[in-house]
Amino acid sequence: MPKSLPPLTWFRAFDAAARHLSFTAAADELGFTQSAISQHVRALEQRLGAPLFIRGKRALILTEAGRGLVPDVAAAMAQLAQATERFVPTQEVPKLTIATSASVSQWVLAPGLRHFHAAHPGVALQLVSTIWPDDFSATRADIDIRFGAQAVVGRNAQLLEPSELCAVVAEGQPIDWDRAVHLPMIQPVGLSTGWQDIGRAMGRRNWPAPLIEVDTHGLAVDLALQGAGVALTHSLIAQRALQDGRLVALDIPQTRAIEGYYLAQNATNLPIAQQAFVDWFRHWVQP
């Protein structure tokens, strides 16, 4: 059986680093951290069994093996780009591309876009929903709205408020903890502060572990609305359902979210439309 190919992410990291001769510049282009680019390249070197760069103090230098790999990788990347272009419909009107987490698309953007287009009827939008951080690297968007910690979301990203954790249940469910503690606990994966931390902060013993774990804050809100349990989720995602009474907040200690939602404005050919959307969005989430 032929040996499996290295992951595409490794080749993308090598391609960008070879063009810039800098892990830092490659990280800026792809939306990774500098250490992630370095790790991807090192993993590729280990898989191929040959060093691809000489790591200098100020810049990278391609080795003979690296120089030999560059044209093949560059050609493969170009062929992949060309192959995907045929699936992109031709647009006469330029579109502002917005890459957002799936939770933001559903729970923040969807309820408000009619207000945006009422104010800006001439701005066409292309919304790209994502879940994992690497999804943003594959999308050349004018605006990124992504979830994560400050260290990994990008240098120019700005935190969106409110940015706290909240405990929510559907209207009609118990909201006193003596009864609510018996409901299934719902929690997104990867939270630095989870249900166990909340229980300790409340001084409660024998606090139950999460019974349901999900991959997005939006899904946690969905499950709470369906009566599946009490969800620990991000306030930005839950706020509309709380405001209209579909969800009810349970009393927990005020807990600042370590991971939050960040907005970044990228280089764009549509600066006026980009700024119009950013101004509207900030007002929408922070009225």
Q: Per-residue pLDDT tens for 219-277?
A: 999 999 999 999 999 999 999 999 999 999 999 999 998 888 999 898 899 999 999 99
* CA-to-CA dists, residue 110 to 1, 102, 211, 226, 273, angstroms: 48, 11, 29, 19, 18
* CA-to-CA dists, residue 192 to 34, 50, 137, angstroms: 22, 38, 24
Q: Per-residue pLDDT tens for 138-182?
A: 457 899 998 887 776 666 788 998 899 999 999 999 999 999 999
Architecture of the domain whose range is 164-256: 3-Layer(aba) Sandwich (3.40)
Q: What is the mean pLDDT of the chain?
A: 88
- Statement: 95-159+261-285 belongs to CATH 3.90.180.10: no
Say what the pLDDT of residue 204 is.
85
Q: Do domains 95-159+261-285 and 164-256 have the same CATH topology?
A: yes
Residue 27 has pLDDT above 90, yes or no: no
pTM greater than the 0.85 cutoff = no
Question: Domain spans of the chain?
Answer: 8-85, 95-159+261-285, 164-256
In percent, the amount of the chain with pLDDT more than 90 equals: 60
Fold of 8-85: Arc Repressor Mutant, subunit A (1.10.10)
Burial 74-101 (b: 16+ CB within 10 A, else e): eeeeeeeeeeeeeeeeeeeeeebbbbbb
Instruction: Report the phi/psi class of residue 31: left, alpha or beta, with left for phi > 0 and alpha for psi in -120 to 50.
Output: left
Residue 2 has pLDDT above 80, yes or no: no
Say what the pLDDT of residue 155 is.
66
